[in-house]
Chains A and B, each alone.
Chain A
C-alpha cells in the first residue's frame, strides 16, 4: 500500500470526508482516508457490516446511560468527546474529565464520534437549509460577520447534499421567515416524501399553529411545519436526480438525472431500512439504518480508487518551510486502542483534506503550527444552545414514538429582532422528557420511592409518561474569538497527541434570546394548557446562566462549528471561499469548522453542500 501514489489524503471518514472521497474517487482520483477508529467499523457490506453494527446495537442496549456515544467504542488512543464527561465548572477551575480540557467559564456541551462513519452514526438527521440572511448577518443586522458566499451560491450544492443524504420532506410546508418564493426553485421536490409527523405534533399544532404571541411589544404568528430529515420514507417519483458527476470539460460538479431515485437502505441488506420503521432511537443508533450515516456515502465511492487506513490517528500536518506546501500528514497507528504502543507513518499526496470534525481539525492545525497566519485557528467555536421547556398535557399525546422530531416552529429563525438578540428554531420533541430528566426511567424510580406499586404504579406511569411534552429552543450562537480551542503540552492523550483545551462562554446576545424564547414558550404552554415542569437548576446544571436575575439552562445540540472559519481575506479567516487554506494552497479543510456563522439550521446539510463545493475545487486544482 505504501507504494501507491495518492492524489488526495483525507483525514476522517465522517460525512465531510466521505462526500469528498466519494466525489474524487468517482472522478478517477486515488484517495487515502486516514481514520482514527477501529477496523471493524469500516465494513461497508454483508456480514462484516452487519456484525459490526449489531455490536454497536448490543452495546447500546446494555448501556446504563443511553447517551449519543453509548453504542460506539471509546478508544483510549483516540478518545471521543463525550457529553457524559461534562461537569459543572467551579470558577477558575479546569475539568480534565474527558477528552476535552474544559477551562470554562462554561463547559462546551456537544460531542462527536471518533470512529468510521463519524458523528452521523448518532446524529438525529434534521436537514434544514440555512436562510439567505444567515449568510449576511453583518450587513443586514450589524451582528457577527458575513460569509464570503451567499445562499444563492450554495443553492446548487444544497441540492447535491439533499440527494446524497436522502432527504425526506415536503417543500410546500417549508415556509421560513425572510425567504423569497424561489428559495428552493420552481417545482423542486425532495428525494422522498415527508416523514409522517407525529400524533403529538398534531395535538400541539392544533393550538400552536397560527397562535399569536407577543414579544417585546410585537406580535408574531407562530407556524408549525414538517421538518425535512435524512431518513428513508417513500421516494417521490417527481424527484428528477440520482447522480452527482464531475464534468471535466466544464470543470464542474453536476447533479444529474440518470435512473429513478432509489433510497439508501442498510449497508448489509438492500431490503432493510428502506423506510423509517419507528425505532425511536435515531440518536444514538438507528437499528435498521433507515437514517442516513456517512458509511452509506463511502459505500458509493469507487472502491478501486479508495484506501482506508484505520487505527491511524493523525497528529500533524507537515509543511515545507520554503514553499508553505503540505508535504505529508503524520499519523500514529496503534494496534490495541487501549495501549500506548504505536507505529508512526507519513501519508503523502498532491492535495490534503482535514475532515476530522471542527475541534479536532483546529487541534491538528495548532499542533502543526499550520494555516494560522490570521490567528483564527481554533477561535469562534460555536454551537446551538438548546434551552428546553417541558410540561404535562391534559390530553394524552403518546410520546416516545417515531423519529426524535418531525415538526418545528420556524417563526423566530429570522427577523429584525436579530439586531438585538439571537434567532432560534423550536423543534417539537417526540421523545417525552427523556433528555432533561431521563424519563421514563426516572418516573419509575420516583414512583417506587413514593411507595407506588402494582396497578396503581402501572396507571401512574401511563398517566404521566403519555402526557409528556418537550419543546426545544435552539438558539444560534454567534462567533466570539475568545471561545476557542487551544493546545497545551500539559494535556496529552495516551498516544502523546494533544487534547483540545476549550475556553467557552455565552454572551448577552444569546442570553437575551433565552429570555425571549422563554416568553414565547410560556405563551405556547398557556395556549396548550400545559402544566409547566421546567426546572433550571443552578446547583447541578453545568450550563446554567443568569440574565436579568432569571436563570436558564442550555444544553449542547451536538453541533460543533466555526473553529477554522471561511472568510474574505487572509487576515480574517483560515480558509477562502473555496475552503482552501489561505496559507497552504494544497490543504483544504472540510466540516462545520469552515462555517463563519451558523444560523438556526442544524449544520450538517450546509456543511455537506460545502463539502461538495470543496470536492469540486479540489478536482479543479488537480486537473489544472
Chain B
C-alpha cells in the first residue's frame, strides 16, 4: 500500500506534466497540500487510488521520454471517462483554484496559474504597480 507521502510525490510529478509548470513554479504557489487534500476530499476512494496507480505506471514505464509520457497521459488520463475526470480537475485546480465551480480558498484563487500563463496577475491581487499596464509585461 502507498503511503500518503508517495502519493504527494506522485501528485507533484503528474501535476508538472499536466500543467506545463515546473516543480519549483508549482511549489512556489504554496498550494500543493491544499490541492492534494481537495483532490482526496472530492474523489471517490476507487478513482483516487486507481488514478495514482495509473500515474505511477505511466511515469515509471516512460521514464525520461517526453513524447511517450505525453501520449500515455493523453490516452490514459485525459479522457473524461478516466477516473471521473481527475486529470482535468487537477489542471483546473492549478490554473484557476477551483474544484468544479467552487473556489477552493481565497489563496487558491490568488495562486491560479492561468494568470501566469497569460503573463498577468489575478484581478484583485499581486498588483503590478502604478502604470505597469502601459508597457508590455516583463
Contact = CB atoms under 8 A, between A and B. Distances in A.
Contacts of A198: 133-134
A287 B127 contact: yes
B20 to A, nearest CB: 3
Interface stretch (A14-22, A278-286, A350-358): A278-286
13 contacts: A61-B105, A63-B103, A199-B133, A278-B132, A398-B120, A400-B121, A402-B134, A403-B133, A441-B98, A443-B114, A444-B95, A457-B19, A459-B20
A444 B97 CA distance: 12
A233 B129 CA distance: 11
A311 interface: no
A401 B117 contact: no
Interface residues of B, number: 47
A278 B117 contact: no
Contacts, number: 146
A280 B133 CA distance: 10
Interface of B: 17-21, 70, 73-74, 78-80, 87-88, 91-92, 95-96, 98, 101-103, 105-107, 109-110, 114-115, 117-121, 123-125, 127-137
A343 to B, nearest CB: 36
Contacts of A403: 133
A445 B131 CA distance: 31
Interface string A276-303: 1111110001011000000000000000
Contact of A61 (B74, B78, B79, B103): B103
A452 to B, nearest CB: 9
Contacts of B102: 64
A30 interface: no
* A interface bracket (residues with beta carbon within 8 Å of B): 35 or more
Contacts of A57: 124
A258 B36 CA distance: 59
A458 B117 contact: yes
Contact of A62 (B74, B106, B115): B106
Given A453-B73, A453-B87, A62 B109 contact: yes
A62 B127 CA distance: 18
Interface residues of A: mostly helix, strand, loop or mixed?
loop
B78 A453 contact: yes
A209 interface: no
B70 A281 contact: no
Given A64-B98, A66-B123, A465-B117, A458 B133 contact: no
B50 to A, nearest CB: 19
B96 A276 contact: no
10 closest A-B pairs by beta carbon, nearest first, are A402-B133, A458-B20, A61-B106, A281-B124, A281-B123, A465-B118, A401-B133, A196-B134, A461-B117, A277-B127
B103 A279 contact: no
A455 interface: yes
Given A61-B125, A277-B129, A278-B133, A444 B96 contact: yes
Contacts of A443: 114
Given A453-B78, A456-B20, A62 B105 contact: yes
A61 B127 contact: no
A277 B130 contact: yes
Contacts of A285: 124
Given A402-B133, A457-B19, A461-B95, 19 more contacts: A61-B106, A62-B103, A64-B102, A64-B103, A196-B130, A196-B134, A202-B134, A280-B120, A287-B125, A398-B119, A402-B134, A441-B114, A443-B114, A444-B95, A444-B114, A451-B78, A453-B18, A454-B18, A457-B20
